[in-house]
Amino acid sequence: MDLYIVLGVAQGASESEIKRAYRRLARRYHPDINPGDRGAEARFRLILEAYETLIDPARRSRYDAGHASEPEPVQATGFEGFDFSTRGVDYSATFGDLFAEVLTERGARGDASQRGTDLHTEMPVSFEEGLGGTERSITITRRESCRTCAGSGRTRASAGTCHLCQGTGAVRSVRGHMVFSRSCTSCGGTGQQIPRPCEPCSGTGLETRSETVTVRVPAGVADGDRLRIPGKGHAGIRGGQPGDLYVAVKVASHPTFRRDGDDLHLIVPIAVHEAALGARVVVRTLEGEARLRVPPGTQSGQRFRLRERGAPSTRTGQRGDLIVEVRIMLPKVLDERSKELLREFGRLNGDGVRE
């Protein structure tokens, strides 16, 4: 086989033209770009052999003189072999056109189907719904497969045999003694005339519809968490997998509780005598009321932990803790008796407060 034809360059091509042709073909047929494609691998070996011969001035000179052994023809997709009975035929295609057509069809067919794109939306829930879990129905607008053409984008009725390939699905091209067979461009290799585009979807195979989707919100979901509903995104193109629906949960704040991870924080006011003498105070939790023991001498801002009274984890299901911070509250109005008692308390215990 002619090495100039393999690279698609003229016999008098310069070194820079040979390099450009090699880089262009290597980007198309390199095995790393076409994993598992034996045809592309064989084609790349042939390109590499041609490049190494023509880029070396000595080897190129010997090849031009007819002393270099040509690489053996490699059977590639669409190349049928040699035909010595076709002399005198007028051909419009060049060797580069023929090789490009027959060796890129496989890659083009592999990219026919495409995965549908994902959909994103938001869903507000209350603080209690985020902790306990809930179910919500939301309405989304998504592209689905056309019900008229089943996503094909074409009318279902066959229009008859293709006139170009006479129903074979392939067209033969001849250059010299080599015969190439490639998929018919008129019918896409089916042998049948391509049906007309589907009118309802304008040939896209997709139509826009609204759908109500039930979203299950797990217990313990936090503000900003995303929930994934598989297959509820836009439909795929030409039989591709549909995308997914992602729901960002917006959890409302609470007037009393503050969430930090799986722990809940709560501020509880206590009186001066409760902090000084100790007491058992009633604390509000998610399940109702609980009693917190405040030891004598408790300072304002001191924190106490109630185990497993927080939010459940969406990963493990275990609950966090409830962190209670006490704040000492002074009475607004003091009568004379109360003032006298505080003065007496100050005389007995006022030393060293600011040390």
Amino acid at 305: R
pLDDT tops 60 at residue 109: no
pLDDT at position 96 is: 52
pLDDT at position 310 is: 92
Three-class DSSP labels, 54-114: HHCHHHHHHHHCCCCCCCCCCCCCCEEEECCCCCCCCCCCCHHHHHHHHHHHHHHHHCCCE
Contact between 224 and 235 under an 8 Å Cβ cutoff? The reply is no
pLDDT at position 70 is: 41
Residue with more model confidence, 253 or 149? 253
Residue with more model confidence, 312 or 158? 312
Mean pLDDT to the nearest integer, 283-295: 91
Mean pLDDT to the nearest integer, 134-159: 82
pLDDT tops 50 at residue 85: no
Cβ within 8 Å of residue 249, ≥6 positions away:
122, 123, 125, 130, 217, 221, 222, 223, 224, 225, 226, 227
Q: Which two tokens stand for residue 107?
A: 């890659």
* Domain boundary residue, one of 76, 100, 127: 76
Q: Does residue 132 sit in the same domain as residue 239?
A: yes
pLDDT at position 345 is: 85
What residues make up the domain containing 268?
258-349
Lowest mean pLDDT among 31-45, 48-62, 198-212: 31-45
Residue with more model confidence, 326 or 145? 326
**Cα of 136 vs its chain's centroid, Å:** 25
Share of the chain above pLDDT 90, in %: 36
Residue 139 lies in a domain: yes
What are the pLDDT digits (tens) for 165-205? 777 777 776 554 555 667 777 777 777 776 777 888 877 88
Residue 236 lies in a domain: yes
Residue 209 lies in a domain: yes
How many Cβ atoms sit within 10 Å of the Cβ of residue 109? Answer: 12
Q: Does residue 137 sit in the same domain as residue 17?
A: no
Residue 70 lies in a domain: yes
- The rounded mean pLDDT for the chain is 80
pLDDT tops 70 at residue 98: no
pLDDT tops 80 at residue 289: yes
Q: Does residue 247 sit in the same domain as residue 263?
A: no
Residue 119 lies in a domain: yes
Q: Does residue 243 sit in the same domain as residue 265?
A: no
Residue 338 lies in a domain: yes
Instruction: Give me the CATH number covering residue 218.
Output: 2.60.260.20
Mean pLDDT to the nearest integer, 304-314: 93
Contact between 322 and 254 under an 8 Å Cβ cutoff? The reply is no
Q: Does residue 341 sit in the same domain as residue 235?
A: no
Cβ within 8 Å of residue 277, ≥6 positions away:
296
Q: Does residue 249 sit in the same domain as residue 262?
A: no
Q: Which two tokens stand for residue 52?
A: 């190494």
For helices 38-55 and 57-64, angle between their N-to-C axes, nearest 10 degrees? 100
pLDDT tops 60 at residue 158: no
Instruction: Give me the CATH number covering residue 65.
Output: 1.10.287.110
Mean pLDDT to the nearest integer, 264-283: 94
Mean pLDDT to the nearest integer, 304-327: 93
Mean pLDDT to the nearest integer, 99-116: 56
pLDDT at position 274 is: 93
* Domain boundary residue, one of 210, 233, 253: 253
Residue 206 lies in a domain: yes
Band (268; pLDDT cuts 50, 70, 90):
very high
Q: Does residue 325 sit in the same domain as residue 233?
A: no
Highest mean pLDDT among 94-98, 155-159, 189-193, 338-342: 338-342
pLDDT at position 67 is: 45
Lowest mean pLDDT among 38-52, 274-288, 310-324: 38-52
pLDDT at position 110 is: 44
Residue 104 lies in a domain: no
Q: Does residue 280 sit in the same domain as residue 305?
A: yes
Mean pLDDT to the nearest integer, 298-326: 93
Number of domains comprising the chain: 3
Band (300; pLDDT cuts 50, 70, 90):
very high
pLDDT tops 80 at residue 334: no
Q: Does residue 126 sit in the same domain as residue 219?
A: yes
pLDDT at position 173 is: 66
Contact between 145 and 201 under an 8 Å Cβ cutoff? The reply is no
Q: Does residue 233 sit in the same domain as residue 129?
A: yes
Q: Does residue 272 sit in the same domain as residue 344?
A: yes
Q: Does residue 272 sit in the same domain as residue 218?
A: no
Amino acid at 276: A
* Domain boundary residue, one of 188, 221, 253: 253
pLDDT tops 70 at residue 77: no
Contact between 228 and 222 under an 8 Å Cβ cutoff? The reply is no
Q: What distance in Å separates the CA atoms of residue 315 and residue 339, rounded to the nearest whole number?
A: 55
Q: Which two tokens stand for residue 295?
A: 């030891």
**Cα of 126 vs its chain's centroid, Å:** 29
Mean pLDDT to the nearest integer, 100-125: 70
Q: What distance in Å separates the CA atoms of residue 200 and residue 146, rounded to the nearest whole number?
A: 8
